[in-house]
Amino acid sequence: MADLTGRTALITGAASGIGRASARLLAEAGATVVCADRDEPGAQQTVKLIGEAGGAAYARALDVTDGAGTAEAVRETVRTHGRLDVLAAIAGIMHSSPVLETDEADLDRVLAVNFKGVLHSAREAARAMKEQGSGSIITMASGAIDTGMSGLLCYSVSKAAVVQLTKTLATELGPYGVRANAIAPGFIRTPMTARDDATAQARGEEAMARATPLGRVGDPGDVAGTVLFLASDRSAFMTGQILRPNGGIAMPW
Ligand code: NAI
């Protein structure tokens, strides 16, 4: 149904969690997937899993805070594979501190990865896709954009910025056949949301599941399905939108 045969996808954050699950699903749909991450062994492991399932993937060491290096990774993907159909900018970090204890270094560090890192890859992908006359840029926001969340100033600001970047890209690139959409997942069980304390983890997940109409927290595959939809022509008339795989925990207009 969502056939990506002959398409090339670049995925940042592909060494873990949502990025890995998305890389695996896009490869399963037929795409050639470049798995980029600052965690190179993790990216190689994703490539191995894809290879074992019969898919095509390549690992690429990349720190998205390096603007020139990120632009080069995009250009290299186009040079090597002849095209770039999908960018899924998934790499991100979490930071938690109350506003009164948040300093500028925290804010800069989070914005460097979660916002500027997305800008670096999306801008270069947009150049290539504009020339190509087609493409889908997928960014990873968060349910944190929809509400105030204690301790999440830096994170939620960075994700709100990602949404505005995505909407701007959609507006500027729509005339060239390039789409841009954001995903705002609810709580997804990944290394990012794992706590060291197993009891605290179980309690947190239970509380989250109780507050969620579908009665559970998400797993990375829940978000990968949305990535696949946005990557494919099944979402051909969709751009500038925010999709929320969140079990119904938030239902904004
Ligand atoms: P994760 O921690 O499992 O994966 C994040 C990946 O990004 C890792 O492989 C990490 O090495 C990579 N990364 C971090 N900084 C990087 C950098 N500077 N350059 C290149 N790669 C870098 O986290 P998860 O949960 O899979 O999150 C993926 C995205 O989804 C993030 O943007 C996160 O903010 C977002 N998200 C996650 C939610 C959750 O509940 N897990 C909910 C909403 C959004």
**CA distances to 59, 62, 70 from 96, in Å:** 30, 24, 26
Whole-number Å distance, alpha carbon 93 to ligand 1 midpoint, is 5
Nearest CA to ligand 1 atom 36: 142
Q: How many CB atoms lie within 10 A of CB 242?
A: 16
Of 19, 23, 21, residue with least CA distance to 34: 23
Whole-number Å distance, alpha carbon 18 to ligand 1 midpoint, is 7
Maximal CA-CA distance, the chain? 52
Nearest CA to ligand 1 atom 17: 63
The C-alpha atoms of residue 224 and residue 229 are separated, in whole angstroms, by 9
Out of 2, 24, 152, 155, which one is annotated catalytic?
Answer: 155
pTM: 0.98
Q: What residues are paired with 60 via a beta bridge?
A: 36
Pocket-testing residue among 18, 152, 249, ligand 1, by greatest number of atoms within 8 A of Cβ? 18
Nearest CA to ligand 1 atom 34: 92
* pLDDT at 120 exceeding the cut of 90: yes
The reply to whether 73 falls in a domain is: yes
The reply to whether 249 falls in a domain is: no
Q: What DSSP character marks residue 247?
A: T
Alpha helix positions (H), the chain: 17-28, 40-52, 67-81, 104-111, 117-132, 153-173, 198-210, 220-231
Average pLDDT, the chain: 97
pLDDT tens across 126-175, in order? 999 999 999 999 999 999 999 999 999 999 999 999 999 999 999 999 99
The reply to whether 48 falls in a domain is: yes
Instruction: Return the ligand 1 atom nearest residue 193 CA.
Output: 41
CA dihedral 126, 132, 133, 134 (to 10 degrees): -70
For the chain, how are helix, strand and coil distributed in percent, rounded to 5? 50, 15, 35
Side by side, the strands of the sheet bearing 8-12 are 56-61, 32-37, 8-12, 86-89, 135-140, 178-183, 242-243
Here the tokens at position 211 are 């507050």
Query: Which residues have CB under 6 Å of ligand 1?
Result: 12-13, 15-19, 37-39, 42, 62-65, 90-93, 113, 117, 140, 142, 185, 187-188, 190-193
The reply to whether 120 falls in a domain is: yes
Q: How many CB atoms lie within 10 A of CB 164?
A: 13
Task: Give me the domain span that covers residue 35.
Answer: 8-243
The reply to whether 87 falls in a domain is: yes
Q: How many domains does the chain have?
A: 1
The reply to whether 31 falls in a domain is: yes
pLDDT tens across 49-74, in order? 999 999 999 999 999 999 999 999 99
The reply to whether 64 falls in a domain is: yes
Respond yes or no: is residue 176 known to be catalytic: no
The backbone torsions φ and ψ at residue 11, rounded to the nearest 5 degrees and listed phi first, read: -125, 120
Nearest CA to ligand 1 atom 23: 192
Provide the CATH number for the domain around residue 70.
Answer: 3.40.50.720
The reply to whether 251 falls in a domain is: no
pLDDT tens across 185-227, in order? 999 999 999 998 999 999 999 999 999 999 999 999 999 999 9
**CA distances to 1, 10, 198, 229 from 4, in Å:** 9, 13, 39, 10
